[in-house]
Amino acid sequence: MEDYMNVNLSADERAKCLLSMMTTEEKIAQMAQISYNVVSAEEYERFQKLGIGSFLHVLGQDTAKIKEQAAQTRLKIPPIFGIDAIHGHSLLNGSTIFPSQLAMSCSFNTDLIREMGRVTAKEVAADGLDWIFSPVLCIARDLRWGRVDETFGEDSYLIGELGAAVIDGYQCDNLIIACAKHYLGYGEATGGRDAYDTEVTERKIREVFLPPFKRACDSNCGSVMTAYGSIDATPLTANNDILRKMLKEECGFEGFVVTDWENVRALMTNQKVAKSIKDASKMAVEAGNDMSMNTPKFYDCMCELVNEGRIDMKYIDDAVRRILKVKFKLGLFDKKEKISRDVIGCSEHRKINMEITRESLVLLENKNNILPLKNGDIKTIAVIGPNADDIQAQYGDWTYFSHPEPKENVVPENDYYTVLRGMKTIFVDCDILYNKGCDIMDSSNESIEEAAALAEKSDIVVTVVGDCLKQYGEFRDRADLELSGAQLDLLKRLKKTGKPLICVLINGKPLCIEWLKDNCDALIEVFNGGDLGGLAVAEMLAGRFNPSGKLSISFPRHSAQTPCYYNQYEGWHGGRYMDVEAGNVYDFGYGMSYSDFVYDNIRLSKNEIDKDESVIVSVDIKNNSDIDGKEIVQLYINDVVSSIMTPVKQLRGFKKVLIKAGETKTVTMNINPEDLSLINKNCERIVESGEIEIMVGSNNQDYLTARLTVR
């Protein structure tokens, strides 16, 4: 037996041992990843025979042939199969489809997000795959950007916490590896356009964009994906400072870096910093990319570069060692116990999905406590709106409907619930009347009067509006964030009926919803709710559970008011445009409950600390209602005077706690030196002496304060 098959050696030792036996071509093959989407059938066959290191977008049933061919190669190195399992193993019809990442982030529930990761890993592994291109750790700073739905929202701290939780969930059973993406700065591309340049300073990178990736490194994330764009006119793919130096050397990243889709080619064709794919391949590898996704010429170019003596073998050896180490860690070389396919979409997974879906919903308005709906008063309910019965809109992006290629007419194998079906299921004693009312985009395709006639016959109206998959996702940035088509006309007409108007939003990202805030009796944000979104909404309206989600992202009044994230710097003109009222429609951290939580008695374990000390903040919270509820307690800080400007508020802690009806709970949170630190002019992370304002509350506008002195 060769040493690399000795399971008593560490993954790294086995990788080094195998590396020492490999030819240059065998090494370079490990650095390539191929999808059937970009090559001819003959080329695909050739890559399989070459023993290419990784394939993507292959589903379980199609892996066998590739594995067999790898087993025919000299060293029989197994390929690693990557898949976009973005919210569940969602490219596979029949798998558990969770709410979108943005929706789940509103739960602020790290335990449930970890569970969601564990469930997804099981389903992916049961399908014979090993690698998930998730989580997205991009920061949704510009709402026009098409991929806001894929993020955990706008706050770097929250993203870091939820990212670490999901990575842990994905990787805890050692079935698959995670991939933190897209490294770096993707969410603040100029003009909110996908894959454009991001003009940020190194200081800002370290303050805002790097921390979630650092958390991913500390969580032993198996891989990181290089973003498409550029920073300061250097493409991320060719950015040695950001990849090799910052990620690998400084953050101590131990896994491997994969480029995004055809990044190597784009160095030549789009970003124009390389004359040829060969030059681009050299640049990408030297900068710190270990594997190239889908630039088919990469393999031949790299072989030529070595033959011509134009690339140092040390880069190749390091890349291949990293890839092999992951393969050994995952047990790809060893006999592994197979996970039964029965877990895919199983009832245990559905239960977890139900829990997280419930916690993801955000109650934004509840005028006169119209919710929960009172039993007995309601006989007829009109369910109206373009997203009331549209499962594609409810699923959102990255499911088998949209990827790897669009397939509009697939029938979901899952027992899914749209809002219409949810209402029929929960309100069994009521008549449910339905009319679509209008289209999401085509304003001529409407049936507003028919919808209004149903509303007239009903006791209440539940309207489901939002957006559709054509309006977000890659290539689909949006300049106008108003409700599209005739949706606002529909809502205005329904309002005229005088019936109580409950509005449910199913949308990929924040839209301008000021009219809805002012005019709807209740307003609920779902984002993309997955399999069970519609059921959870109906349960919530019926009071079967108490809503507990809070927004992980702010909602602007006007499209041109973006960026509108909460943690901005203070200016001196009130931060307003002359033609739009100041402030957001809803802020990060906002969300209502059926309970009433009252905060009192904020206190610190010490009022003065040294720079390397921690402090404990406590607060008493009373549930002043007769219903048990979960509250997301949020802790923000503000550095009162500092050597550089710091944001008006920064989230530095949160806790989700169950507080029983009438109960008072003391919640404590720890603030450590890292939480108090800032990145100074020299790009160093330091704690400065001075005063820190500490804010603890129910959202970022409503809090108690305490003062801490740092000596």
The footprint of ligand BGC (CB under 6 A) covers: 56, 84, 133, 181, 260-261, 474
Q: How far is the CB of 271 from ligand BGC (least distance, A)?
A: 15
The candidate with the shortest Cα–Cα distance to 88, out of 300, 299, 356, is 356
Toward ligand BGC, which CB reaches closer, 196 or 515? 196
Q: How far is the CB of 181 from ligand BGC (least distance, A)?
A: 6
Q: How far is the CB of 34 from ligand BGC (least distance, A)?
A: 12
Q: How far is the CB of 534 from ligand BGC (least distance, A)?
A: 27
Greatest pairwise CA separation for the chain in angstroms: 82
Examine residue 135 and say whether the peptide bond preceding it is cis (omega within 30 degrees of 0): yes
Q: How far is the CB of 479 from ligand BGC (least distance, A)?
A: 21
Toward ligand BGC, which CB reaches closer, 150 or 318? 150
Toward ligand BGC, which CB reaches closer, 225 or 503? 225
The candidate with the shortest Cα–Cα distance to 596, out of 360, 359, 366, is 366
Toward ligand BGC, which CB reaches closer, 235 or 547? 235
Is the sign of the CA dihedral 538, 539, 542, 546 positive or negative?
negative
82 - beta bridge partners? 56, 131
Toward ligand BGC, which CB reaches closer, 133 or 599? 133
197 - beta bridge partners? 230
Toward ligand BGC, which CB reaches closer, 133 or 703? 133
> How would DSSP label each residue in 238-281?
G-TIIIIIIIIIIS---SEEEE-TTHHHHHHHTS---SSHHHHH
Q: How far is the CB of 81 from ligand BGC (least distance, A)?
A: 12
Toward ligand BGC, which CB reaches closer, 144 or 181? 181
Give, in order, the Cα–Cα distances in Å from 411 to each of 126, 353, 402, 425. Answer: 22, 20, 13, 21
Q: How far is the CB of 474 from ligand BGC (least distance, A)?
A: 6
Q: What is the 3-state secondary structure (H, E, C) of 335-399?
A: CCCCCCHHHCCCHHHHHHHHHHHHHHCEEEEEHHHCCCCCCCCCCEEEEECCCCCCHHHHHCCCC
Paired tokens of 460: 């209440």
Toward ligand BGC, which CB reaches closer, 97 or 536? 97
The candidate with the shortest Cα–Cα distance to 134, out of 91, 189, 185, is 91
Angstrom distance (rounded) from CA 580 to CA 365: 22
Examine residue 500 and say whether the peptide bond preceding it is cis (omega within 30 degrees of 0): no
Toward ligand BGC, which CB reaches closer, 194 or 482? 194
Q: How far is the CB of 306 from ligand BGC (least distance, A)?
A: 27
Angstrom distance (rounded) from CA 265 to CA 456: 59
Toward ligand BGC, which CB reaches closer, 475 or 572? 475
Angstrom distance (rounded) from CA 185 to CA 183: 7
Paired tokens of 13: 């030792």
Q: How far is the CB of 287 from ligand BGC (least distance, A)?
A: 18
The candidate with the shortest Cα–Cα distance to 114, out of 164, 154, 180, is 164
Q: How far is the CB of 169 from ligand BGC (least distance, A)?
A: 19
Toward ligand BGC, which CB reaches closer, 259 or 507? 259
Residue nearest to ligand BGC according to CB distances in the complex? 133
Toward ligand BGC, which CB reaches closer, 294 or 567? 294
Angstrom distance (rounded) from CA 26 to CA 511: 50
State the Cα torsion 58-64-70-73 to the nearest 10°. -150
Q: How far is the CB of 406 from ligand BGC (least distance, A)?
A: 14
State in Å, rounded, how far the first CA of the chain is from the last one.
62
Paired tokens of 558: 């006007």
Angstrom distance (rounded) from CA 571 to CA 607: 29
Toward ligand BGC, which CB reaches closer, 261 or 328? 261
Q: How far is the CB of 147 from ligand BGC (least distance, A)?
A: 8
The candidate with the shortest Cα–Cα distance to 99, out of 46, 21, 162, is 162
